[in-house]
Amino acid sequence: MSSSKKKTAIKVIVVLVGVAALAAALWRLNSFEKTEMVSTKGYSYERAIVTEVVTDNLQENGERVGYQHIKVRMLTGEHKGEIYDATSSEGNLFGAACHVSDKVIVTFSVSGDTATVGVYSKDRSAAVIGFVAVFLLFICLIGGRNGVKSVLGLVFTFAMIIFMFLPMIYLGMSPFWAAVIVVIVTTIATMYLIGGNDRKTLSAILGTTLGVLIAGISAWIFGLVADIDGYNVSDIETLIYLGQNTSIDVGGLLFAGILIAALGAVMDVAMSVSSAIAEIHDKSPKLGVRQLFRSGMNVGRDMMGTMSNTLILAFAGGSISVLVLDYAYDLPMRQILNSYSIGIEIMQGIAGSIGVILTVPTTAAMAALLYGKIRKPAGADENDEALETINTDKNETAISGSSSQEAIQ
């Protein structure tokens, strides 16, 4: 077997062993029973289809008031195929305006021989799955082989959040350090899928990890200075109840979320800078560390503004309703700046952007050190040539001297 095949076989074995070890760890991590927060005995969410609208709640002015009385045929559950009377309210969060043949999600509860059925919402499962499928298809079609790798990395990231991050938090681990572990594992796997096993991937992994940690530390420092912590979020009452009945550290969820939110942008910047330096090195392998670092910084500077805007606009978009309310009520700027909701959004956006910005020099430095040619001090090459010339002359003199002695003898 050739050396290249041996190396490939070793890589495959290492990857398989790593996957098996990770799968075993995740299985072990998820082998626990959750505390029952709400009793679901005799209560379930099922899929159903509307077969008849018995009484509509549509008024002459086009508004809906009160409840619709409808008949639905169950599509899932123990009572699949059976028809039940149901009610549907026209609410903004629950219920739906039902028509015949609409597929809906219903709450099905049984008490003795009586079944109570209410419409929870329209059945959006097909729309959600279809939209995600179109998104993944675009990645594969446009990205080709790398697109398929990106999809695998995305699936892996989602799996790590569900089967590693959430269980670790539920079992009482610090949300911040749980996020750090997930960031490292996800970064290694994603970068290895996309970039392979080389110096470019290594520098991108190190740059991403440091960038995300910088974002988290920046948020933590801002929280200390501004007196903001995880207990100042809008849904804290529900979270406190959750923390009282489980081992979840509610106060650390805010900063853990910042780490997870910043991962995508930081990973993008780190891989782009690392790839640029790798490409420059391939074209000019004689470039030193300084030259490669400067080239990486030039590439990274062009990305800083756009990626920072991406993070800030993402957080601003998530709080657009709060901004509209503040604007419509013409609240004073002093009140807006000192509200917890705005302070948290500012902290998230700025901390993530700081992580993105500082990812550029850290990744550029690491990639330059891994790829750059270590330059000798000025004059070192001339000294080496002089030494070689002197040694050559000595050797020639010794050889000629020995030849002369042989001739005399």
- The single residue listed with the structure tokens 């709060």 is 322
Tell me the backbone φ, ψ of residue 373, rounded to 5 degrees. Answer: -85, 125
Is 190:156 a contact under the CB 8 Å cutoff? yes
What is the C-alpha to C-alpha distance for residues 236 and 238, in angstroms, rounded to an integer? Answer: 5
When divided into structural domains, the chain yields a total of 2
Residue 285 and residue 200 in one domain: yes
pLDDT, greater one: 191 or 4? 191
What does the pLDDT average to over 248-258? 89
What mean pLDDT value characterizes the chain?
83
Q: Which two tokens stand for residue 80?
A: 């699949």
Residue 238 — very low, low, confident or very high, per pLDDT cuts 50/70/90?
confident
What's residue 61's pLDDT? 80
What are the CA-CA distances from residue 387 to residues 199, 393, 400 (Å)? 35, 10, 20
> Using one digit for the tens of pLDDT, what is the confidence trace for 69-99?
999 999 998 889 999 999 988 777 778 888 8
Reply yes or no on whether the pLDDT at 58 is more than 90: no
**Number of helices and strands in the chain (H, E):** 12, 5
What average pLDDT score do residues 236-243 get?
86
Residue 258 placed within a domain: yes
Q: Tens of pLDDT along 370-385?
A: 887 644 444 444 444 4
Q: The tokens of 81 are what? A: 């195929």
Residues 270 and 358 in one domain: yes
**Looking at residue 62, which CATH number applies to its domain?**
2.40.50
Regarding whether 358 and 214 lie in a shared domain, the answer is: yes
Q: Both 54 and 200 in a single domain?
A: no
- Does residue 403 have a pLDDT over 70? no
Both structure tokens of 95: 């219920």
For residue 378, what pLDDT is reported?
44
Q: Which residue has the higher pLDDT, 152 or 234?
A: 152
Q: Which residue has the tokens 């400067």?
A: 294
* Encoded tokens for 292: 């490669």
Q: Which residues contact 353 (CB under 8 A, 6 or more apart)?
A: 307, 308, 311, 312
Domain that holds residue 231: 150-371
Is position 379 within any domain?
Answer: no
Residue 166: the pLDDT is 94
Does residue 10 belong to any structural domain of this protein?
Answer: no
Which class for 311: exposed (0-12), middle (13-18), buried (19 or more C-beta within 10 A)?
buried
Residue 2: is its pLDDT beyond 70? Answer: no
380 part of a folded domain: no
Q: Write down the pTM of the prediction.
A: 0.78
Q: Would you state the pLDDT for residue 159?
A: 92
Please tell me the predicted confidence (pLDDT) of residue 348. Answer: 84
Is residue 403 assigned to a domain?
no
Least confident window among 48-57, 71-80, 300-309, 328-337: 300-309
Q: Where is pLDDT greater, at 41 or 392?
A: 41
Q: Say yes or no: 154 and 117 in one domain.
A: no
Average pLDDT over residues 24-33: 90
Residues 71 and 187 reside in one and the same domain: no
Q: How many other C-beta atoms can be found within 10 angstroms of the C-beta atom of residue 248?
A: 19
Task: Tokens 């670790």: give the residue.
Answer: 168
Judgement on whether residues 116 and 160 belong to the same structural domain of the protein: no
- Judge if 351 and 286 occupy the same domain: yes
What CATH number does the domain containing 315 carry?
1.20.1640
Residue 182 pLDDT = 92
Residue 346, helix vs strand vs coil: helix
Rg of the chain (C-alpha set): 32
Secondary structure in 3-state letters for 158-227:
HHHHHHHHHHHHHCCCCHHHHHHHHHHHHHHHHHHHHHCCCHHHHHHHHHHHHHHHHHHHHHHHHHHHHC
Interatomic CA distance for residues 59 and 42, integer angstroms: 35
3 state SS of 351: helix
What's the CA gap between 349 and 344, in Å, rounded?
9
Note whether 160 and 305 are same-domain residues: yes
